[in-house]
Structure 1
């Protein structure tokens, strides 16, 4: 039984992970901002902690004794630069530093496909390997910075750090495009458990994606740390395709990389010509 700390514990991904990790026998520390309630805390297996994402000392105290920190706390969409800088970048630095001070040797950092949003979907390193960052928004920049911080802490402090470029996380594929990019709740849990148990050391950038038939990205980086996804969006293809036609994106970032997507505006602001 391991102790796993989650930041952003009230969010969608953490909410999906919690019952799965408890079922695997693990105890959880649930960290979120002051005033943000984490619902349905199980006192037998979970402990909720209020801590500002940028408060290194408070988070180090919360992380004490943990075997793994899963960093999910962030704005999950485009925001003005000062907000992205404060929460997504400064917050990630604080989480990494708090984990180091607490003696936690393993980190799973939630990156995003938008760290590489301007990479063409047919680029060679998409199908076979892992492309360098090419962010499509301020949000994407924050995830590229997250990956850089993961590399720094792995190299300087001999931590095992996995930066997962999460594609489309949901209960089921929401539309035709997500038949390529879906990440299921069960596979997200498999990614957490792979990070907890991997014998790999150093920093690893992997795709947060299920084993989808229509997947365009390479599973090999994840397999190298023991992440072997099992679910396939194709099981939901008929439902997803009924939601309307969708042309395959030319870039990994899809609409985020569109010229009409306004930097600094949540959801890209008002798009023209779409």
Structure 2
């Protein structure tokens, strides 16, 4: 049994992780902002803590005794630069510093495919290896900064840090692009558990993606830390293609990299389809 601390504990990913991590025998510290509701907290295995993401002291106290911090707290799409800086960049720095002060040996940082959004999907380092950051938005810049902070804390303080470039997290793939990029909740759980148990040291950038038949990115960086995804979006392909037969994008960031996608505007000035 391990103690895991999750920031952004009310969000989609943490909500999916919680029952799976409890079923694996672990106890959880659930950290989210003041007044943010957390559903169905199990008092036997979970403890909820209210903290601003930039509050180093409160988070350090919450992280005390944890074996792993899973940092999921962030704006999850494009925002004005000031908001991205305050929450995604300053917030990540505060989480890393709180983990260091608390003596937590391992960090899993939720990066994003949008840290490399302008990389062509057929680039050599996509097929084999890991491309350098090429962010497509302010949001993508924040995730590149997150990876840089992960490298700093691993190198300077001897922590094991995994920065996971999460692609398309959902219960099931929702469109053609996600047939390549889907990350299932079960595979996200496998990524957390791999970070908890890996013998690898230092900083590792991996793809947060399932073992999809149409996947374009390399699983090798994840396999190097013991992350071996099992799910495949292909089992959902016939239904997805009937709903939307459009073709996948030419760059990893998809529509985020389009000229029409406005920097600093939620959803790039567009709204999701109903």
**Both structures adopt the same fold (TM-score exceeding 0.5):** yes
**Residue 145 of structure 1 pairs with residue 145 of structure 2:** yes
Structure 1 residue 178: deviation in Å?
A: 0.4
Equivalent residue, structure 2, for 1:94? 94
Give the unaligned 5+ runs of structure 2: none
Equivalent residue, structure 2, for 1:56? 56
Regions of 4+ moved over 4 Å = none
Which SS does the other structure have where 1:19 is aligned?
helix
Give runs of aligned pairs for residues 164-203 of structure 1, distance below 5 A: 164-203=164-203
- Cα deviation 1:76-122 (Å, max 9, x = unaligned): 00000000000000000000000000000100000000000000000
User: Normalising to structure 1: TM-score of the pair?
Assistant: 0.98
Aligned mates of 1:175, 1:247 — CA distance in 2: 10
Aligned mates of 1:248, 1:167 — CA distance in 2: 14
Aligned mates of 1:251, 1:235 — CA distance in 2: 24
Which SS does the other structure have where 2:109 is aligned?
strand
Structure 1 residue 239: deviation in Å?
A: 1.3
Structure 1 residue 270: deviation in Å?
A: 4.0
Equivalent residue, structure 2, for 1:116? 116
RMSD over aligned Cα, in angstroms?
A: 0.7
Contact 1:115 1:165 (C-alpha < 8 Å) held by counterparts: yes
- Cα deviation 1:208-253 (Å, max 9, x = unaligned): 0000000000000000000000000001111111211221211000
Contact 1:176 1:243 (C-alpha < 8 Å) held by counterparts: no
Give the unaligned 5+ runs of structure 1: none
Contact 1:78 1:138 (C-alpha < 8 Å) held by counterparts: yes
- Cα deviation 1:146-193 (Å, max 9, x = unaligned): 000000000000000000000000000001110000000000000000
Contact 1:116 1:253 (C-alpha < 8 Å) held by counterparts: yes
